[in-house]
Amino acid sequence: MNLSCNQRAVTVVFLLLYCSADGFDVVPITTDLNDQHSPAVYGDIVVWADSRNGNWDIYGYDLSENYEFQITFDPADQGDPAIYRNIVVWTDKRHGNFDIYGLNLGTEQEFQITEDPKMQFAPAIFWDIVVWTDFRNGVPDIYGYNLTTEEEFAVTTNEKLQIDPQIYGDYVVWEDSRNFKSDIYCYRLSAKEEFRITSRLYCQSSPAIYKDFVVWCDDRHGTEEVFTFLYGNFDIYGYDLSTKKSFQVTTDENDQKNPEIYGDIVVWVDERNGNRDIYGLNLLTQEEFQITFDPADQYNPAICGNILVWTDERNGNADIYGSILPVTVDVVPVPFKTLPELPQYSSWMVVAFIVVVVVVFGVLTWRSKPRGKTQ
């Protein structure tokens, strides 16, 4: 299998399969009547979790050769697939708990990565490093494994919750709740150095990373108003690790969630049309574009090169669909805001803020109640 992110041959095959009236080439990758979820893509290969056999298995599709293949055969559940080059990794329940397993597509050799009796799940992979969420210490931490040296290592073991790790190059990012709400943290593998990316009085979640760019879901709503901490909507924000500057990706008043990034393109799930669609933004041109137009829900986007895949419910069940992102698309200009450096908030400031909100809410509630004797 050719697992390069060069998409020339793939594009030719993809474009011949299906042409959408919306201007994007939308391709059904799976059409099985059962549910398929959580796609991932690298080069010519798309992988996903599939329920057609009565349990959840991992399946794959070769875009260049136009054929589907089964990856896992164990009767227990397997899910959360990720892929890089010839290696597919996933969450596996064959031993009664959740472990991380992998498969070399070239040799067709399956291997177990974690053996701890507690839960390990949601793996991500870059080159020979696999990272995942790990419950061996009683709370979710982030651990990793070097496939070359066969060595396991801890990324973070803070006593609070750390989940949803993503990796690119020397950096691992994740969602971290050590500051009483979720932030985005980062770990540099070569330096064994951890640092905090977000420090606002809001919740940040679902990080993704490509080279120096980290993007995430953020409920600050682009404002410093106090009560957006409780009632804000979800937007997509980003951070440049090289310049240490933050920027806002989406500004629509509806929710945008689950971002992914490759190159200059950020994609996400968008609820502005009353359903869930896939939208994108070109970071260089600062232009936003809509990718899916079907009134059903589309979600779980994954991107590599100009190949985009997602979970799609247009047929009444969950299928995997895909599209080629063309060089030029019809776009809607949106502002691309570079934000000032984020102020640092200590834990006692967060606690003080929450206390103020609770007190104000209590006073307002008390004043709204009728006083005096009941007649």
Lowest mean pLDDT among 155-169, 245-259, 276-290, 352-366: 352-366
Homologous superfamily of domain range 8-368? TolB, C-terminal domain (2.120.10.30)
Full-model pTM: 0.83
Position 346 scores a pLDDT of 46
Question: Would the pLDDT of 335 be above 50?
Answer: no
Lowest mean pLDDT among 41-45, 153-157, 204-208, 353-357: 353-357
Round to whole Å and give the CA distance between 87 and 109. Answer: 10
For the stretch 278-302, what's the b/e string if a residue is b when 16 or more beta carbons lie within 10 angstroms of its beta carbon?
A: bbbbbbeeebbbbbbebeebbbbbb
Token pair 């919750």 in the structure block, residue = 161
- 217 versus 327: which is more confidently predicted? 217
Q: What's the pLDDT band for 143 if we cut at 50, 70, 90?
A: very high
